[in-house]
């Protein structure tokens, strides 16, 4: 029980760690990693319940709940980490564009991120029982590598949770539209139901009047 208690104390710290992307665009009191997990889990559960999808809902919930535990020691890495200018005032501008890298660079960034996060998860789960340790690590690998339809679905739901939050921050601050999250999502999302949700977001956050005004 002592080891489980320590584990619960450790993961509780995610309730206080802000997500990096929001810090970079200058959001005050941004959502934490745990708050993002809460949002993503509910979204994945409700959308994943659709009967004809035949998803294993328990697996969806578990993957959504554990997918960001790795960020406890690895931190919340973003694609922007590579290109951050020294001057912090220039950071929000970066989010007008989705960052682009060569194929080799993309593989390098992805490999390093995966390695760092895996090491963090291994450290966090090291003292758990072998059965629980294996379960958490395999669920995480599923999310990371898209091994099952549930893993692939939760990853895309996570992306939309982030897009929704970005749109809400954009609305609250009446600031930049943060194009990058939208552009990135158009290259990432391919699940038909999640594409419908993206369409609904488009209607809510970019009503026709707003688009006409812009054009």
Token couple for 15: 């309730």
Residue linked to tokens 């554990």: 66
Q: Minimum Å distance from CB 184 to other proteins?
A: 8
End-to-end distance of the chain based on CA atoms, in angstroms? 61
Least Å distance between CB 37 and other proteins?
Answer: 20
Cβ nearer to other proteins, comparing 89 with 213: 213
The CA distance from 165 to 172, in Å, is 10
User: Which one, 88 or 97, has the nearer CB to other proteins?
Assistant: 97
> Angle, to 10 degrees, between the axis of helix 130-145 and the axis of helix 57-66?
90
Q: How far is the CB of 197 from other proteins (least distance, A)?
A: 13
* For other proteins, the closer CB: 91 or 98: 98
Q: Are 120 and 70 in contact (CB under 8 A)?
A: yes
Distance CA 134, CA 141 (A): 10
Report CA-CA distances (Å) from 18 to 23, 31, 108, 133. Answer: 7, 6, 25, 26
- Toward other proteins, which CB reaches closer, 40 or 191? 191
Q: What is the largest CA-CA distance in the chain?
A: 61
Report the nearest approach of other proteins to the CB of residue 173 (Å).
17
Compare residues 15 and 49 and give the one whose CB is closer to other proteins. 49
- Cβ closest to other proteins, residue 35 vs residue 53: 53
Strand positions, DSSP E, the chain: none
Smallest separation (angstroms) from other proteins to the CB of 72: 19
The contact set with other proteins (CB under 8 A) reads 56, 59, 97-103, 106-107, 109-110, 131, 134-135, 137-139, 141-142, 145-149, 152, 177, 179, 182-184, 186-190, 192, 195, 202, 205-206, 211
CB of 109 to other proteins, least distance (A): 8
């Amino acid at each position: 029980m002592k080891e489980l208690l320590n584990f619960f104390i450790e993961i509780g710290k995610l309730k206080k760690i802000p997500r990096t992307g929001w810090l970079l665009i200058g959001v005050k009191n941004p959502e934490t990693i745990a708050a993002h997990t809460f949002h993503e889990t509910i979204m994945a559960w409700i959308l994943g319940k659709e009967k004809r999808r035949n998803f294993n809902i328990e697996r969806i919930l578990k993957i959504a709940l554990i997918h960001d535990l790795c960020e406890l020691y690895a931190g919340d890495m973003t694609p922007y980490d590579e290109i951050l200018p020294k001057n912090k005032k220039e950071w929000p501008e970066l989010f007008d564009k989705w960052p682009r890298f060569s194929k080799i660079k993309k593989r390098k960034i992805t490999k390093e991120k995966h390695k760092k996060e895996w090491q963090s998860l291994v450290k966090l789960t090291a003292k758990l029982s072998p059965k629980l340790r294996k379960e958490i690590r395999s669920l995480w690998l599923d999310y990371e590598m898209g091994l099952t339809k549930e893993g692939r679905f939760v990853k895309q739901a996570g992306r939309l949770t982030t897009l929704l939050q970005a749109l809400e921050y954009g609305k609250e601050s009446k600031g930049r539209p943060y194009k990058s999250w939208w552009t990135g999502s158009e290259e990432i999302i391919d699940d038909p139901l999640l594409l419908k949700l993206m369409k609904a977001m488009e209607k809510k956050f970019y009503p026709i009047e707003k688009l006409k005004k812009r054009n």
